[in-house]
Amino acid sequence: MTELSREELLAQIETLSRQLAEINEEKTDLEIMVENVTEHATYLENRISEKNEQMESYIQQVKQLTDAAAAVENNSFEPIKLKQVAARNDELGHLARVFTQMVQTIKTREQELATAKDQLEAVLNAVPGAISWINADGLYLGVNRYLAENCQLSPDDFIGKEVGFQAQNSAFANFIRQFLASTQEYDSQVVETRVNDTVRYYLMAAQKYQQGSATVSVGIDVTQRQLAEEALQIAEEKYRSIFENALEGIFQSSPDGRYISVNPAMARIYGYESPEQMMAEVTEISTQIYVDPDQREEFQNLMAEYDEVKHSVSQVYRQDGSIIWVKENTRAVRDRYGNVIYYEGIIEDVTQRKQEEEALKRQLQELRIEIDQQKRAREVAEITQADYFQDLQAEVANIDLDAFWED
């Protein structure tokens, strides 16, 4: 091994010292770097921990929001549980606020709907008529209390049942089936049904809704009106038969002096070929009918005071101008305000009776004259047969008339 000189050795020592210094400097830099990395790592760990806590809180609050949505479904939602979430200034907080407001709005609407439903149900149950809801397949969706009680069932007994499941309601079922099969949106009809073994008549009205997928029907009991209409029809037929076939004249006339209606007998009495001819030709009763025109005015005055005229006998003109006697019984028909609508009455031709009365009067007059003559003759006979008259007659016979006149 070659020995180094002192100079070479010093040079190597200097080189090694310089390298050692560089190594120490690098070590210091490395320590500083390690310290900086350690600080940054600690900062990152703290940031990650903070972010994890924020994420955990975020996830927890998201879960609160999803739990709130589930609570809405089972009607147990409490807005206070989202108060912390709603306080956030991010999108989650906005979502929580919108969700809470939406739920509160829905709750308000549900309460209003429930109140309206209760009110509607109370009204429908108070209606004195049969109300039902029926789907397009003819199945009951519901009925009101009136209909259920009249069928001696509960409202729930109808739901899902086919219209007509009760045999006594076949007329109603046929009406509904025809209506459902038609394109009509509305229809009505009077149907006959049985309620508690009693025949009743209902005016049924049906209306489609929900684009024709369902129908509501309302039935009002019109039994009394139906029976009244039938009785009225029978009465009208009887009146028409009497009107057409009566021997007496029957009429209705207006206050202004025209005939509103006359029956065939009336036309015959006045010499017209038909009621239509008489109503067409007689335009002023006071002058065309009454021989004394003032009698019409007197008739109207009596009507205004008494509302009727009985056994009024008048001379009237027939269509050919001849005069007959008629007896009239008439009453005034007024509206609810008391105004005269028309007069109606019965006319009887009493010409023959009047003629017989006149003949009887003449006979009575002649008989009275004859009786008076006989009475006078009898009175004369009684006078001449009296003792006083006989004595007087004897005295007169004994008088010397010549001597009497000379004296």
Report domain extents, the chain. Answer: 14-125, 127-228, 246-349
List the beta bridge partners of residue 316. 290, 324
Confidence grade of residue 106 (pLDDT, cut at 50, 70, 90): confident
How confident is the model over 163-177, as a mean pLDDT?
Answer: 83
pLDDT reading at 401 higher than 80? no
CATH class of the domain whose range is 127-228: alpha beta
Of the given ranges (79-83, 169-173, 267-271, 273-277), which has the lowest mean pLDDT?
79-83
Q: Do domains 127-228 and 246-349 have the same CATH topology?
A: yes
- What pLDDT is recorded for position 317? 93
pLDDT at 107 over 90: no
Tell me how far apart the 2 most distant CA atoms of the chain are, in Å: 255
Letter for the amino acid at 248? E
Reported confidence tier of residue 399, pLDDT bands at 50, 70, 90: low
Q: What is the pLDDT of residue 387?
A: 63
Q: How far is CA 83 from CA 74, 161, 275, in A?
A: 20, 49, 92
Rounded percentage of the chain residues whose pLDDT exceeds 90: 23
CATH topology of domain 246-349: Beta-Lactamase (3.30.450)
The predicted-structure confidence for 11-55, as pLDDT tens digits, reads as follows 777 787 787 777 878 778 777 877 777 777 677 777 767 677 667
Mean pLDDT for all residues in the chain = 81
Instruction: Please report the pLDDT score of residue 1 as a whole number.
Output: 52
Centroid of chain to Cα 235: 26
Rounded to an integer, the average pLDDT of 311-321 is: 91
Give residue 390's pLDDT band: very low, low, confident or very high (50, 70, 90).
low
